C-alpha cells in the first residue's frame, strides 16, 4: 500500500544503480551488448561496473563534450524519458556524473502532478543559485517546465533551458543552442504529433526495460495537469516498438514494461492498425522475452480482448493497474472520469472472469472538492468490493490549468489527511488478509535485489508483488527462481527459494 504524496511509486527495487542498455541502431547496439555482456559475466552488477561501462562508451564515441547530472522526479514515464534524455546526451559526447557539483550541465526532469512534487524542483534550483552555478548550464525538463514556461527564467535566472516533454524530439537542437551560449532556450510547443524516439537509451534497470508506446493524454480529468503538460495523445508505430523489443531481447532484457498515461488507448498509426491487445501478444512473441507488463490502463478503454490476451499468453503478466480515483459516481462525474462506479465494476468483472487470477491495483484521490462523507463511504466500499492487491492513494492537490481549480466546496488539508488515513486503514486490512492466504504458495520471481544481509534477495512476481526471500545460491540477480512464501506483512511477503 503506497501513500504517494510525491509521485507514483517506483517499481525499481534494485539497489543497483544506473546500468546501460537499449538502442535503435548499430553503434548503440554494439555498445549495449558490451555492457550486458559484462553484467552477465559478473553475475552481480555494481555501480563501479556501470561507470566503467560509461567510460567505455566515451572512449568509443571520442572526446567528451562535458559532464551532465540528471535528476528525475515523478512517475515511471519520467524515469523512462530520463533514460532517453541521457541517451541523447551520451550520444552528443557527454559523460554522466552522480553529483551536480561535478557536472557542467545539470538537468532536472520534473513532475507537477501534485504541488509538493512541483515545489521540489524550485528548491533544487535554489540550491544552484547565482553564486554556485558559475560555468554550469542548468536546464528544467518535463512537466514543471511545461507548466511554468518562461516564468522559470524569472524565478531562477541562472536556468538556460526550459523544455517540456512534448518537445523532447527537438532536444538535440535545443542543446546545440545552449552549447552555443544561448541563455534562454525553450521547447514548449505541445501541438505535436511526434513521439520521442532516441538512437540510444541509457536504461537504468538491467533486466526490465521500459518502453513508452503512447505519449500525452486526450482525456480531460478535471484535477489533472497531464493533458496540459504532456500534450495530446500520440502513439508510436507498432513496427518501431516491435523492432526495439527484439533488440532488447537480444541484449538480454527478459521483461518489458509498456508505458503510457493511458496505455490501453494505444492507436497504431501504421496501416497495420494493431489493436493494443494484439500488440501485447506480438511483444510477448519476441524470442527471449519472458514477461510483458503495461501501465497505466484507463477503465473506459479497458476491453475483454486484453484479458483474453493475458489468458492465452502466460508471458503477459497477471497484473492490471486500473485507477478508479473514487468509488462515488457523483465524484467521478465531477472529476470528468468518463465512467460511473457501476461501469468501473463491470471492467473489474471482466478481469475477475479471467481463467488465471489477475492482481488488480488502483489509484485513489481523497478530498476532491465537494466530496462528502457518503462519497468517501462509497470509495471505502469499492475497496471492499474489489479487494485491490495494492493501492496508490493521494490527497487532492489543486493544479494550475485544470478545471477543478475553479471548483468550490474545498476540503481542508486536515480533513483530507483524516480521509486518507481511513482509506489506508481499510486497504491495510484487505492486504493483510490477502497476504496471509498466500503463505505456503510458490511463485516465480525475477530476482532484482540483493540485501546487505547474507543470502537475502528480493524480486517481483508476475502479479507484481515483492517477495523478500532467502537462498544459499549465489549470483541470483536477473535470474528467475521459484520462491515459497513463508510469512506476510501488509506490504510485503517473505519466503525461501523452493529448490
User: 396 touches which of ligand SAM, ligand SF4, none (CB within 5 to 8 A by kind)?
Assistant: ligand SAM
* Min dist. Cβ of residue 262 to ligand SF4 (A): 5
* Min dist. Cβ of residue 345 to ligand SAM (A): 16
* Min dist. Cβ of residue 185 to ligand SF4 (A): 27
Q: What DSSP assignment string belongs to 422-446?
A: HHHHHHHHHHHHHHHHHTT-EEEEE
Cell numbers found for residue 266? 494505444
Cell numbers found for residue 484? 515459497
* Min dist. Cβ of residue 427 to ligand SAM (A): 14
Among 51, 219, 330, 418, binds ligand SF4 (CB under 6 A): 219
Nearer to ligand SF4, 64 or 338 (CB): 338
* Min dist. Cβ of residue 53 to ligand SAM (A): 32
Q: 52 with 45: CB under 8 angstroms? A: no
**CB under 6 A: which stretch of 214-222, 278-286, 393-401, 419-427 binds ligand SF4?**
214-222
CA dihedral sign, ordered 288, 294, 300, 302: positive
Could you give the string, one character per residue 279-318, with x where binding to ligand SF4 holds by CB under 6 A and - elsewhere? -------------------x--------------------
3-state secondary structure (DSSP) of residue 295 = strand
User: 113 touches which of ligand SF4, ligand SAM, none (CB within 5 to 8 A by kind)?
Assistant: ligand SAM
262 binds ligand SF4 (CB under 6 A): yes
Nearer to ligand SF4, 31 or 306 (CB): 306
227 binds ligand SF4 (CB under 6 A): yes
Nearer to ligand SF4, 253 or 344 (CB): 344
Cell numbers found for residue 75? 512517475
* Min dist. Cβ of residue 300 to ligand SF4 (A): 9
324 binds ligand SF4 (CB under 6 A): no
Which uninterrupted H or E stretch holds 458? strand 456-460
* Min dist. Cβ of residue 457 to ligand SF4 (A): 34
Q: What DSSP assignment string belongs to 70-91?
A: EEE-SSHHHHHHHHHHHHHHHH
CA–CA dist 181, 173 (Å, integer): 13
**CB under 6 A: which stretch of 22-30, 70-78, 216-224, 307-315 binds ligand SF4?**
216-224
Q: 266 with 279: CB under 8 angstroms? A: yes
- The strand pairing partners of 428, in sequence order, are none
221 binds ligand SF4 (CB under 6 A): yes
User: 22 touches which of ligand SF4, ligand SAM, none (CB within 5 to 8 A by kind)?
Assistant: none
Cell numbers found for residue 379? 470509495
Cell numbers found for residue 42? 559478473
404 binds ligand SF4 (CB under 6 A): no
CA–CA dist 185, 88 (Å, integer): 17
CA–CA dist 259, 294 (Å, integer): 6
Among 121, 141, 226, 241, binds ligand SF4 (CB under 6 A): 226
* 234-235 and 255-259 strand pairing: unpaired
* Min dist. Cβ of residue 298 to ligand SF4 (A): 5
217 binds ligand SF4 (CB under 6 A): yes
Among 72, 261, 328, 431, binds ligand SF4 (CB under 6 A): 261
Nearer to ligand SF4, 295 or 462 (CB): 295
Cell numbers 547474507 correspond to what residue? Answer: 454
What are the backbone dihedrals phi and psi of residue 467, each rounded to the nearest 5 degrees, phi first?
-125, 125
* Min dist. Cβ of residue 433 to ligand SAM (A): 24
* Min dist. Cβ of residue 291 to ligand SAM (A): 22
Nearer to ligand SAM, 52 or 405 (CB): 405
Which uninterrupted H or E stretch holds 211? strand 208-212
Cell numbers 544561448 correspond to what residue? Answer: 182
Q: 81 with 142: CB under 8 angstroms? A: yes
Which uninterrupted H or E stretch holds 495? strand 493-497
Residue partners of 88: CB distance under 8 A and separation at least 6: 171, 172, 175, 198, 200
User: 227 touches which of ligand SF4, ligand SAM, none (CB within 5 to 8 A by kind)?
Assistant: ligand SF4
* Min dist. Cβ of residue 75 to ligand SAM (A): 5
The Cα-based distances of 351 to 196, 310, 321, 360 in angstroms read: 32, 10, 11, 8
Residues that bind ligand SAM (CB under 6 A): 8, 75, 113-114, 223-224, 226, 261-262, 296, 298, 323, 325, 363, 365, 394, 396-397, 399
Residue partners of 149: CB distance under 8 A and separation at least 6: 162, 186, 188
User: Which residues here bind ligand SF4, judged by CB under 6 A?
Assistant: 217, 219, 221, 224, 226-227, 261-262, 298
Amino acid at each position: 500500500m503506497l501513500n504517494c504524496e510525491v509521485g507514483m511509486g517506483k517499481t525499481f527495487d534494485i539497489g543497483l544503480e544506473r546500468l546501460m542498455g537499449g538502442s535503435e541502431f548499430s553503434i548503440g547496439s554494439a555498445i549495449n551488448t558490451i555492457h550486458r555482456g559484462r553484467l552477465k559475466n559478473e553475475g552481480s552488477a555494481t555501480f563501479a561496473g556501470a561507470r566503467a561501462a560509461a567510460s567505455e562508451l566515451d572512449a568509443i564515441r571520442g572526446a567528451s563534450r562535458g559532464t551532465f547530472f540528471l535528476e528525475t522526479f515523478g512517475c515511471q514515464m519520467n524515469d523512462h524519458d530520463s533514460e532517453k534524455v541521457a541517451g541523447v546526451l551520451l550520444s552528443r559526447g557527454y559523460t554522466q556524473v552522480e553529483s551536480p557539483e561535478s557536472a557542467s550541465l545539470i538537468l532536472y526532469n520534473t513532475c507537477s502532478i501534485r504541488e509538493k512534487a512541483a515545489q521540489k524542483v524550485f528548491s533544487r534550483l535554489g540550491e544552484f543559485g547565482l553564486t554556485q552555478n558559475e560555468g554550469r548550464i542548468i536546464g528544467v525538463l518535463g512537466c514543471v517546465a511545461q507548466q511554468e514556461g518562461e516564468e522559470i527564467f524569472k524565478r531562477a535566472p541562472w536556468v538556460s533551458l526550459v523544455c517540456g516533454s512534448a518537445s523532447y524530439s527537438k532536444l538535440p537542437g535545443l542543446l546545440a543552442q545552449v552549447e552555443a551560449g544561448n541563455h534562454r532556450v525553450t521547447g514548449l510547443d505541445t501541438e505535436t504529433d511526434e513521439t520521442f524516439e532516441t538512437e540510444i537509451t541509457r536504461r537504468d534497470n538491467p533486466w526490465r526495460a521500459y518502453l513508452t508506446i503512447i505519449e500525452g493524454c486526450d482525456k480531460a480529468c478535471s484535477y489533472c495537469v497531464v493533458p496540459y503538460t504532456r500534450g495530446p495523445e500520440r502513439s508510436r508505430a507498432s513496427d518501431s516498438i516491435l523492432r526495439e523489443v527484439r533488440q532488447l531481447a537480444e541484449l538480454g532484457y527478459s521483461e518489458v514494461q509498456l508505458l503510457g498515461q493511458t496505455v490501453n488507448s494505444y492507436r497504431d498509426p501504421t496501416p497495420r492498425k494493431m489493436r493494443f491487445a494484439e500488440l501485447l501478444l506480438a511483444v510477448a512473441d519476441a524470442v527471449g522475452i519472458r514477461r510483458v507488463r503495461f501501465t497505466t490502463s484507463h477503465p473506459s478503454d479497458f476491453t475483454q480482448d486484453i484479458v483474453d490476451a493475458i489468458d492465452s499468453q502466460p508471458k503477459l503478466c497477471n497484473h492490471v493497474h486500473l485507477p478508479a480515483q473514487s468509488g462515488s459516481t457523483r465524484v467521478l462525474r465531477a472529476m470528468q472520469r468518463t465512467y460511473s462506479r457501476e461501469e468501473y465494476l463491470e471492467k473489474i468483472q471482466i478481469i475477475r472472469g479471467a481463467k488465471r487470477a489477475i492482481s488488480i491495483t488502483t489509484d485513489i484521490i481523497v478530498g476532491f472538492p465537494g466530496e462528502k462523507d457518503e462519497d468517501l463511504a462509497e470509495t471505502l466500499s469499492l475497496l471492499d468490493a474489489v479487494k485491490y492487491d495494492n493501492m496508490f492513494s493521494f490527497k487532492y492537490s489543486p493544479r494550475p490549468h485544470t478545471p477543478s481549480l475553479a471548483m468550490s466546496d474545498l476540503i481542508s488539508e486536515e480533513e483530507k489527511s483524516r480521509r486518507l488515513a481511513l482509506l489506508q486503514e481499510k486497504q491495510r486490512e484487505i492486504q493483510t488478509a490477502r497476504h496471509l492466504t498466500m503463505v505456503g504458495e510458490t511463485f516465480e520471481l525475477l530476482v532484482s535485489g540483493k540485501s546487505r544481509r547474507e543470502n537475502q534477495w528480493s524480486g517481483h512476481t508476475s502479479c507484481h508483488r515483492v517477495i523478500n526471500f532467502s537462498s544459499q545460491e549465489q549470483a541470483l540477480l536477473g535470474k528467475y527462481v521459484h520462491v515459497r512464501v513463508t510469512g506476510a506483512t501488509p506490504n510485503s511477503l517473505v519466503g525461501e527459494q523452493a529448490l
